[in-house]
């Protein structure tokens, strides 16, 4: 139970940066809340997989570990997917991933680093902390 609580608290903390504006820039470019990462199908499925893997006791403990891990990894995939499908037009009207990279708020990068750190923390805690 201790492990489940620790992992869940860390998971929820890792999602907090998504409450901030993640895409856009100081130059008036469109601002999109990071909550969109959780509300897209990848984010929703990842969230569900995490909670099934951590909180529902399955016959095979390895399945719990895999589902929880897929949930945590899915959040990172959701962030990257949203970012790669969000482009800023340049002055010529062409969509540019380079502009998206340049104009993204620092919160996006911070959130991405925190989410990747959560993947590492999940597997470390899962191996070190006893049930």
d(CA 69, CA 119): 7
pLDDT tens by residue, 45-100: 999 999 999 999 888 889 999 999 999 999 999 888 888 777 665 566 666 777 77
Evaluated on CA atoms 103, 87, 83, 34, the torsion sign reads positive
Give the pLDDT band of residue 114 (cuts 50, 70, 90). Answer: very high
User: Residue 30: what pLDDT?
Assistant: 62
- pLDDT tens track for 12-36: 999 988 887 776 655 555 667 777 7
In this prediction, residue 91 carries a pLDDT of: 63
In 3D, which of 85, 81, 79 has the Cα closest to residue 107? 79
For the entire predicted model, the pTM comes to 0.82
């Amino acid at each position: 139970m201790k492990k489940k609580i620790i992992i869940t608290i860390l998971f929820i903390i890792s999602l907090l940066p998504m409450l901030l504006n993640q895409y856009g820039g100081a130059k008036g470019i469109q601002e999109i809340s990071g909550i969109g990462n959780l509300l897209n199908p990848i984010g929703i499925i990842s969230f569900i997989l995490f909670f099934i893997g951590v909180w529902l006791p399955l016959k095979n403990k390895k399945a719990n570990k895999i589902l929880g891990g897929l949930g945590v990894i899915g959040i990172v995939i959701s962030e990257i997917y949203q970012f790669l499908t969000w482009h800023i037009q340049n002055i010529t009207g062409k969509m540019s991933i380079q502009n998206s990279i340049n104009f993204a708020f620092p919160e996006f990068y911070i959130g991405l680093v925190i989410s990747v750190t959560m993947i590492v923390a999940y597997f470390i805690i899962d191996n070190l902390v006893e049930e």
